Structure 1
């Protein structure tokens, strides 16, 4: 069958086929969802951790140095996410995506984001300076966090496919991770309202760690940013 005919046939099949949907209580795995119109719906909180200014990094520094920045940041982010019970769903160049589920998913996801900020500033940057004392490079990153219902399906072709996370949280968290890196953590109002005080208030005086902002690019939605970190 010619490529055009094959593609036309498959596109029609996808649009016509009825969806098989079920509620999930665990994070779906690759082998738990079929490649046809099969999906799992879960309530999840998505965290995106993204290196800032990675284009300037690869344009202005040696490839090996840039790769070391990628590797150290993504390694620390992934280990922190895993230690907090999150599930890594994808690596995409200079960023990692993870999902948290359960009753405390917002509190835990935000804590993970604050720990990533601490690791970037207190672990990676000092180690970088010790290894490259003449370097002026400063690692900057942003974490975005949102929560919503997620529709998880499989996309691609046989032998080369992946899960796709359809829902507001996946989209918004990615967009939040592209905001001003002066504030390393950005969260939606839904996350802020649902998380426990342990992820809202910091320091001995229980200071609110978050500043309310207006997300003008997204219809003036209420979001929150923070420069705080969580040591470990």
Structure 2
């Protein structure tokens, strides 16, 4: 395969000249649904990124096998909960997973999913890890996560080359939800944009008449965004 300067310049010129063939998506697209050459699928969806916090400390303080088992357990639980709530898993990035939700209750379903992931981390993974792994117990390691959610219009585009490609997601909802999953604020582990919060059904917003979400703000792309954070987990 040619990779010299002239060839790479030609490829960039070709890609910059692409005229995308866009279509509306009724379901969450997978890679095979989007043409590599010029395909694009527009979706109105909720993006949920859930990130395992403190994995660097895990790697430093624990045997690699322990770190691998903890990360695998987190991704396993998160993936199962995303699917349970009608989402589709479309990306893994180290210790982070991305779920995409569509449909009439997409905001509510995704937010409940985020709170259930929080519960699974605190009530299942943490105590099991402390019981099973001496390095976690002896080092006082707290296994935590953060889930970030945003909703909006996003395009799925296939990127890479033949046999080496995947979907990339172009739009604020995808990038802002990823940003929110990086927030580290003691006590709060689920963050949603104002757009998601405003679309929540009562069962995803309140418990016994009490609002489960606290307003806050975050800087993103040079602007201040209103977000809502919750420290209320939910048992699956």
Q: TM > 0.5 between the two? A: yes
- Residues 1:215 and 2:210 aligned together: no
| 1-structure distance, mates of 2:98, 2:227 | 20
Which residue in 1 is equivalent to 2:154? 150
Q: 3-state SS of the aligned residue for 2:41?
A: strand
Q: How does 1:120-199 map to 2 (within 5 A)?
A: 120-132=121-133, 134-135=137-138, 136-182=140-186, 183-199=188-204
TM-score of the superposed pair, with normalisation by structure 1: 0.95
Q: 3-state SS of the aligned residue for 1:180?
A: coil
Shift of 1:178: 0.6
Q: How does 1:1-232 map to 2 (within 5 A)?
A: 3-132=4-133, 134-135=137-138, 136-182=140-186, 183-202=188-207, 205-217=208-220, 219-232=223-236
| 1-structure distance, mates of 2:147, 2:164 | 28
CA contact (8 A) 2:35 2:158 kept: yes
Query: Structure 2 unaligned runs (5+)?
Result: none
| 2-structure distance, mates of 1:174, 1:107 | 18
CA contact (8 A) 1:140 1:181 kept: no
CA contact (8 A) 2:45 2:151 kept: yes
Q: Deviations over 1:126-167 (max 9, x none)?
A: 211222364422101100000010111100111100000111
Q: Deviations over 1:15-70 (max 9, x none)?
A: 11211101110111211111112101010100000011211221222111111110
Matched residues, number: 230
TM-score of the superposed pair, with normalisation by structure 2: 0.93
Q: 3-state SS of the aligned residue for 2:182?
A: coil
| 2-structure distance, mates of 1:32, 1:6 | 28
| 2-structure distance, mates of 1:215, 1:162 | 30
Q: 3-state SS of the aligned residue for 2:160?
A: strand
| 2-structure distance, mates of 1:185, 1:96 | 14
Q: 3-state SS of the aligned residue for 1:220?
A: strand
| 1-structure distance, mates of 2:133, 2:64 | 15
| 2-structure distance, mates of 1:98, 1:191 | 15
Query: Structure 1 unaligned runs (5+)?
Result: none
Q: 3-state SS of the aligned residue for 1:88?
A: strand
Deviates more, 1:43-52 or 1:206-215: 206-215
CA contact (8 A) 2:194 2:228 kept: yes
